[in-house]
């Protein structure tokens, strides 16, 4: 028999009814999330359940990447034997007299009860001697006699798990961990220039696309990218199931259909995203070196709500900074460069660096992956305060010579002069490069040949000359070189 009862009439019946703190059905709390720049996270959750013959059930169905779901007991001596996903989590009983005991630790949970050909869904509010009371979403209370009940199902707990333990009816701590797509962090640096060629380098991480609330959890920012062969695929065990408000009140068949639609939409979104499934492509792209050893940076006691974003300091170090002007003398461009040396024990991940000095912006550039002990170079701006000039003159010509039956070449000796004038108040450290076509005869001012390329079918090679010099404040400096080039004069 099903009887609808008013709220006032329910007050005496509800007296002394307390919801259990621990029961077969348990919820997990997010303890830690390990976030990768490539757009996924490793979620670690834990909860406590009162086992029933080794079984427990929970309400979370994560959208875990295929093969990454890991359910574990918190007691080292226990083992997880079986995990079942169901759209109809039945509470078994042999006769009506067993119902009271089977539901005694489930007060406060939502049940779906089938009786006399009718399904009633509501929150279990009280257990009486001969009936139970449900509170429907409408606010009405429904009394159902035990002897009329045919089946009882937990509504919001689709995950069943069986533990092998010495105490199959005791309390057990259970953990659930998995990789899930979507969450990511974005790195950025702030470089504050200090006296004596030093700089304070701060790595900041911006946490994005957080799918759920963090309450006093640990957030781990990772530099590096592990290989995940199944990105974009929901775990086969979980496909067709999802937990959350959108499924409340839906029938098992409708729940499965809705979950399939949601999972397909997620996969399509991931496939459409730039760099989907590729560790080195798209947003936050990593060079090959950065996909090897992983570095972890942990922020403890982190709290954030879904939809919120947070930037947090990951680490701060003082690094040597070497200012340098770079003149590619094949053009007239002079670029101001800052080189930083990573003296920390951790690599620098790829990310933008904003440089400031005396509360003034100097520029912004991308720093590439830099291992401990390595150097990173940032090309910031046009070199202000340096004037440059390039000139070349012919020194002499040699006698023509013939190659093969037709081709003749004329050797010409050229002399080049590169002039740098420093109008700054400080000395300027300058790196100068110049490409010449031919045989280098002489390089003055301690210049060197940095690179040579032999051209097929051409008597001239390409030589890159390099100087590293200091131009004193207010002074001018000339760099000279000579080379011999061969010019074709036909037949």
In the predicted structure, residue 230 carries a pLDDT above the cut 50: yes
Share of the chain above pLDDT 70, in %: 84
Strands 310-328 and 428-437: parallel
The CATH number of 2-180 is which of 3.40.190.80, 2.30.30.520, 3.40.718.10, 3.40.50.150? Answer: 2.30.30.520
The enclosing H or E element of 13 equals helix 7-14
Tokens of 309: 């974003």
Q: What is the pLDDT of residues 187-199, one digit of tens each?
A: 999 999 999 899 9
pLDDT score at 269: 45
Query: Does position 407 have pLDDT exceeding 90, yes or no?
Result: no
Q: Residue 38: is its pLDDT beyond 70?
A: yes
pLDDT tens-digit map of 54-83 = 999 999 999 999 999 999 999 999 999 999
pLDDT in tens, 80-120: 999 999 989 999 999 999 999 999 889 999 999 999 889 99
Q: What is the dihedral of CA 189, 190, 194, 199, to 10 degrees?
A: -10
The predicted model scores a pTM of 0.73
Judged against a pLDDT cut of 70, whether residue 443 lies above it is answered with yes
Domain with CATH 2.30.30.520 in the chain: 2-180
Residue 439 and residue 378 in contact, taking contact as beta carbons nearer than 8 Å = no
The mean predicted confidence, pLDDT, of the chain is: 85
Average pLDDT over residues 228-235: 93
pLDDT in tens, 251-282: 545 444 544 544 454 445 444 433 333 333 22
**pLDDT on residue 13:** 52
Confidence of residue 243 (pLDDT cuts 50, 70, 90): low
- List Cβ neighbours of 470 (8 Å cut-off, separation of 6 or more): 427, 428, 429, 430
């Amino acid at each position: 028999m099903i009887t609808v009862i008013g709220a006032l009439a329910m007050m005496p019946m509800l007296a002394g009814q307390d919801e259990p703190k621990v029961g077969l059905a348990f919820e997990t709390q997010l303890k830690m999330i390990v976030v990768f720049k490539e757009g996924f996270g490793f979620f670690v959750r834990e909860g406590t359940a009162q086992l029933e013959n080794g079984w427990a059930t929970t309400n979370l169905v994560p959208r875990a990447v295929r093969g990454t779901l890991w359910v574990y007991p918190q007691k080292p001596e226990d083992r997880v034997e079986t995990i079942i996903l169901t759209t109809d989590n039945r509470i078994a009983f042999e006769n009506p007299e067993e119902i009271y005991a089977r539901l005694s630790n489930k007060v406060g949970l939502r049940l779906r009860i089938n009786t006399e050909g009718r399904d009633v869904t509501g929150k279990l509010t009280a257990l009486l001697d001969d009936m139970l009371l449900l509170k429907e979403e409408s606010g009405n209370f429904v009394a159902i006699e035990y002897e009329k009940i045919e089946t009882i199902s937990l509504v919001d707990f689709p995950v069943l798990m069986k533990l092998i333990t010495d105490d199959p009816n005791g309390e057990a701590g259970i953990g659930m961990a998995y990789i899930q797509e979507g969450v990511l962090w974005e790195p950025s640096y702030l470089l504050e220039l200090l006296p004596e060629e030093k700089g304070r380098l701060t790595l900041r991480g911006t946490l994005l696309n957080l799918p759920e609330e963090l309450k006093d959890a640990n957030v781990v920012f990772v530099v590096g990218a592990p290989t995940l062969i199944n990105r974009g695929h929901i775990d086969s065990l979980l496909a067709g199931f999802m937990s959350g408000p959108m499924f409340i009140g839906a029938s098992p068949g409708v729940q499965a259909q809705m979950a399939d639609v949601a999972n397909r939409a997620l996969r399509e979104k991931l496939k459409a995203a730039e760099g989907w499934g590729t560790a080195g492509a798209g947003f936050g792209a990593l060079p090959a070196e950065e996909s090897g050893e992983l570095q972890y940076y942990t922020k403890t006691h982190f709290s954030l709500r879904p939809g919120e974003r947070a930037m947090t300091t990951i680490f701060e170090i003082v690094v040597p900074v070497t200012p340098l002007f770079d003149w590619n003398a094949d053009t007239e461009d002079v670029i101001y460069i800052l080189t930083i040396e990573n003296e920390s024990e951790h690599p620098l991940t790829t990310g933008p660096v904003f440089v400031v000095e005396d509360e003034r912006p100097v520029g912004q550039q991308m720093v590439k992956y830099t291992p401990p002990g390595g150097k990173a170079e940032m090309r910031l701006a046009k070199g202000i305060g340096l004037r440059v000039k390039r000139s070349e003159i012919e020194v002499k010509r040699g006698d023509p010579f013939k190659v093969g039956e037709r081709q003749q070449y004329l050797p010409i000796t050229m002399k080049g002069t590169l002039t740098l004038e420093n109008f700054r108040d400080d000395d300027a450290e300058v790196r100068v490069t110049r490409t010449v076509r031919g045989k280098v005869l002489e390089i003055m001012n301690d210049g060197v040949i940095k690179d040579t390329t032999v051209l097929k079918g051409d008597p001239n090679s390409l030589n890159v000359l390099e100087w590293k010099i200091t131009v004193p404040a207010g002074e001018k400096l000339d760099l000279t070189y000579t080379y011999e080039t061969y010019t074709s004069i036909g037949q």
